[in-house]
């Protein structure tokens, strides 16, 4: 019984790490069909985010709350990785939908860029860049929506801006042409005499002509420029508000980078060496049960994985946007015809998948050192979990990760020798040969490849009319 509980816990601990690393890939690859080889680097970014948050919480003002940095790091890592994933989708992947080979090559190149970025750029400056991206994408969502709409009825801000522009144009016009107009009128008045019944009415004629001219100009502006004014100003306002949000975001990023570089010397210079994340006091040690010690960090990772799976399941099955994501996955063209913004769905899906990779980075940082190559160790296992469980099936990913975790523990530790002490010598030598972490992974991947020969769609294949498309 004790051996069974130990195998089950170790398998669950290993499988939870595999599952939380594969959750984001299950969204991006399973639902969108995008082969994202930069997924491991998004995990690495989440791990580095945890490290930076830990250093910030060690500063004197936040030292009383230092043990809570992991909880903050979960939220920050989700946002940081999610924003970077959205930027990746908007700039690279959006133009490569339906081209798997080009997507694979492009995301592989992005993964190399991100690795070299971490090696070459100080973490303080990297934090400033990330803050700029986060604020640049989220600030427009926090501002009033009517600042960004193109409605013909302008708010007071637009009207005030329009009158300000008109006044400025009038001042400039008067400054440029006013003197010339006054001179022309004075010259006409001095050389012209218009008499009616012997009375000189030249000034009345000049005033009348001026009034008629101004009336004609006002009528022309009203018929042409005034009708276009609101739309033009709305367009200018939208561009200005968007540019201003990015300017504010960039300024905030510069200030954060400067403050971090001055407050934390560890991240003020580029350093490609691995760094360590220290678990808070409440996550150290273990819990005794069944004469076994269960490490608290492993238990926390299992809980985080369980919460992430439940939250993702609820989102995909119980929310409006989850329904839209599933609709676009099943039939993109019909969803577009029904009014669902497929571009928004793509951005949201990729952002959530990348954010889950950031949460996986927090979990990974608690298990060992964090370096530029941290995510590379998890990308192959994540793809195996998604493919073995069935593309786009969360239940399949959960079962596949648990099975891989149990098999890894049984094979890598050589537990078959404990279960079967009288094993024949040739078979025992084979078990001992695979009793290492690397060789156990090789054997498990080989078994998965053999299994996929008989069930190419995985444990739980997709069902529906468009599966074969």
List pLDDT tens digits, range 205-255: 555 566 555 555 555 555 554 445 455 555 555 566 566 666 666 777 777
Q: What is the pLDDT of residue 181?
A: 46
Task: Look at residue 213 in the predicted model and tell me its pLDDT.
Answer: 58
Q: Which helix (H) or strand (E) holds 421?
A: none
Report the pLDDT value the prediction gives residue 140, as an integer from 0 to 100.
Answer: 64
CA 149 to centroid of chain Cα atoms: 24
Position 54 pLDDT exceeds 70: yes
Q: Give the pLDDT of residue 75.
A: 92
The pLDDT of residue 258 is above 70:
yes
- Say yes or no to pLDDT of 433 above 80: no
Mean pLDDT for 317-337 is: 84
Query: Among 176-180, 272-276, 327-331, which is the least confidently predicted range?
Result: 176-180
In this predicted structure, the answer to whether residue 173 has a pLDDT above a threshold of 50 is no
DSSP 89: H
pLDDT at 16: 85
pLDDT at 195: 53
Q: What pLDDT does residue 74 have? A: 92
CB atoms within 10 A of CB 283: 17
Long-range contacts formed by 114-119: CB under 8 A, 24+ apart: 114/38, 114/41, 114/44, 114/45, 115/41, 115/44, 115/372, 115/373, 116/372, 118/44, 118/48, 118/272, 118/372, 119/270, 119/272, 119/372
Mean pLDDT of 42-50: 91
**108 pLDDT more than 50:** yes
pTM over 0.85: no
Say whether 280 sits in a helix, a strand or coil.
Answer: coil
How confident is residue 344, by pLDDT bands cut at 50, 70 and 90? confident
- The pLDDT score that the predictor gives to residue 72 is 92
Whether 17 and 377 have beta carbons less than 8 Å apart is answered as no
CA–CA dist 127, 252 (Å, integer): 11
Distance, in Å, from the CA atom of 48 to the CA atom of 375, rounded to the nearest integer, reads 11
DSSP 464: S
Of the pLDDT bands very low, low, confident and very high (cuts 50, 70, 90), residue 183 is low
How does strand 292-295 pair with strand 286-289? antiparallel
Please state the domain extents for the chain: 2-41+274-454, 156-238
Lowest mean pLDDT among 258-262, 415-419, 451-455: 415-419
Determine the pLDDT at residue 359. 92
C-beta of residue 186 within 8 angstroms of C-beta of residue 203: no
User: Over 60: is that where the pLDDT of 95 sits?
Assistant: yes
Residue 322 confidence (pLDDT) above 70:
yes
Instruction: Give the pLDDT score at 189.
Output: 54
Around 419, how many Cα atoms within 13 Å sit in the side-chain half-sphere? 13
Alpha-carbon distance of 47 to 52, in angstroms, equals 9
Predicted confidence at residue 152, as pLDDT, reads 40
Tokens 């294949």 found at: 461
Contact 83, 133 (CB under 8 A): yes
Select from 19, 21, 27, 23 the least CA-distant residue to 89: 27
Q: 445: which residues sit within 8 A by CB, 6+ positions away?
A: 380, 384
Give the pLDDT score at 78. 92
pLDDT in tens, 369-408: 888 888 888 888 888 888 888 877 788 888 888 888 888 8
342 closest CA partner among 320, 324, 355, 330 = 324
Alpha carbons within 13 angstroms on the beta-carbon side of residue 97 total: 14
Indicate the average pLDDT of the chain.
75
pLDDT digits (tens, 9 = 90+) for 283-309: 887 787 767 777 888 888 889 989 999
């Amino acid at each position: 019984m004790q051996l069974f509980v130990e195998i089950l816990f170790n398998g669950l601990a290993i499988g939870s790490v595999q599952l939380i690393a594969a959750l984001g890939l299950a969204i991006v690859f399973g639902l969108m069909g995008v082969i994202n080889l930069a997924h491991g680097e998004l995990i690495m970014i989440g791990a580095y985010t945890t490290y930076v948050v830990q250093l910030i919480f060690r500063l004197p003002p936040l030292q009383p709350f230092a043990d809570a940095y992991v909880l903050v790091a979960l939220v920050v890592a989700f946002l940081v990785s999610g924003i970077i994933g959205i930027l990746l989708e908007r700039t690279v992947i959006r133009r490569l939908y339906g081209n798997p080979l080009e997507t694979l090559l492009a995301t592989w190149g992005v993964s190399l860029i991100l690795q070299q970025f971490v090696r070459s750029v100080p973490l303080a400056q990297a934090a400033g860049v990330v803050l700029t991206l986060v604020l640049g994408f989220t600030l427009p969502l926090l501002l009033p929506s009517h600042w960004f709409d193109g409605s013909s009825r302008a708010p007071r801000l637009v009207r005030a801006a329009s009158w300000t522009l008109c006044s400025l144009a009038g001042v400039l016009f008067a400054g440029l042409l006013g003197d010339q107009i006054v001179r022309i009128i004075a010259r006409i008045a001095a050389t012209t005499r218009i008499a009616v019944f012997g009375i000189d009415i030249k000034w009345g004629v000049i005033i009348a002509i001026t009034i008629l001219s101004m009336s004609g100009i006002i009528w022309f502006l009203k018929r042409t420029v005034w009708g276009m004014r609101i739309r033009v100003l709305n367009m200018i306002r939208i561009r200005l508000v968007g540019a201003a949000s990015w300017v504010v975001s960039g300024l905030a990023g510069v200030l954060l980078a400067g403050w971090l570089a001055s407050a934390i010397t560890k991240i003020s210079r580029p350093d490609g060496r691995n760094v360590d994340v220290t678990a808070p006091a409440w996550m150290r040690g273990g819990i005794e049960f069944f004469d076994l010690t269960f490490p608290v960090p492993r238990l926390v990772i299992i809980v985080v994985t369980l919460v992430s799976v439940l939250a993702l399941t609820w989102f995909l099955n119980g929310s409006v946007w989850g329904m839209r994501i599933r609709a676009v996955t099943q039939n993109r063209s019909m969803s577009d015809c029904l009014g669902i913004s497929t571009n928004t769905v793509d951005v949201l899906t990729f952002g959530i998948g990348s954010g889950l990779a950031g949460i996986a980075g927090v979990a990974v940082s608690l298990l060992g050192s964090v370096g530029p190559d941290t995510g590379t160790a998890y990308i192959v296992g994540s793809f195996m979990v998604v493919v073995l469980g069935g593309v786009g099936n969360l239940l399949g990913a959960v079962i596949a990760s648990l099975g891989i975790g149990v098999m890894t523990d049984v094979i890598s530790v050589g537990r078959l020798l404990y279960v079967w002490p009288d094993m024949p010598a040739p078979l025992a030598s084979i078990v001992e040969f695979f009793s290492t972490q690397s060789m156990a992974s090789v054997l498990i991947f080989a078994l998965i490849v053999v299994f996929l020969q008989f069930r190419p769609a995985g444990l739980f294949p997709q069902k529906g009319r468009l599966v074969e498309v």
